[in-house]
Amino acid sequence: MNFATRALLELQETTLLAARAFGGVFKRPRYIPETIAQMDAIGVGSLTIIILTGFFTGGVLTVQTFPTLKAYGAQSQTGYLVAVSLVRELGPVLCALMVTGRVGSAISAELGSMVVSQQIDAMRALGTDPIRKLVAPRLFALLVSLPLLTVLADVLGIFGGWVTAVALYSVSSSVFLSAVRDAITTDDLIGGIVKPIVFSLIIGTIACRQGLSTEGGTVGVGRSTTRAVVMASIIVIIADYFLAKALQVILGTQ
């Protein structure tokens, strides 16, 4: 089987997995406790890395852009640049990449271990659909958690930029915050929410698909985990490019 056929087959299987997971959301039994547990593991569990990533990304944006803006006499626009960069691009993408590394790998490894230890077969043998029991709660938890984590990363990034601008470059607090207010439009906020929703679908379906298709014992678990993280990261970045353009066209901001 050549690369193109394999890629198409993989795309088909991943899409079918997502469709079956969402198809099962509205049927009984509903796995509400599992979904809440996954929201805790994915959302609450990722808070620390998102707080640190968001804060320092905002800070470093100020560090890198303030000297350039100052050279053109536009240092008052530092808040504008930090806010636009974070809300439109860095917040959703960095957040998705951090969650891919932490959550995508964990999902793939957990499901892969369950496959090689025959727990998935046991689940099916006991009359449970593993897609509804394992995949749907993880996908739903990611769909809820990633947009919220992205908003948090955006806010903390702007906070990090503000702290850096005020403390290191003596930018007036009101000037920075006024530029931030001018920068962010409703379209940016819509884009900042749509992107993480799409990214969560990408991360969740790829991680679950790779985990459930694990073959070859414990070595296979390692392989599928690596594949899940690499594939999800690359596809998130590629999808971000097309989403950015699509949102510009849809929202009329091009």
> Could you say which of 4, 71, 125, 249 contacts other proteins (CB under 8 A)?
125
Task: Give the x/- contact pattern for other proteins in 131-170, rule: CB under 8 A.
Answer: ----------------------------------------
Residue 126 contacts other proteins per CB under 8 A: yes
> Could you count the other beta carbons within 10 Å of the beta carbon of residue 253?
11
The two three-digit tokens of residue 155, written as one number: 């806010």
Residue 73 contacts other proteins per CB under 8 A: no
Residue 127 contacts other proteins per CB under 8 A: yes
> Could you count the other beta carbons within 10 Å of the beta carbon of residue 144?
17
DSSP 3-state of 51: helix
Nearest to 92 by CA among 230, 195, 184, 200: 195
> Could you say which of 119, 178, 185, 226 contacts other proteins (CB under 8 A)?
119
Residue 226 contacts other proteins per CB under 8 A: no
- Triad 230, 236, 239: Cα angle to 5°: 135
Q: How many residues bind other proteins (CB under 8 A)?
A: 14
Report the C-alpha gap between 207 and 221 in whole angstroms: 12
Residue 172 contacts other proteins per CB under 8 A: no
Residue 124 contacts other proteins per CB under 8 A: yes
Least CB distance to other proteins at residue 127 (A): 5
Report the C-alpha gap between 240 and 238 in whole angstroms: 5
Residues that bind other proteins (CB under 8 A): 29, 113, 117-119, 121-129
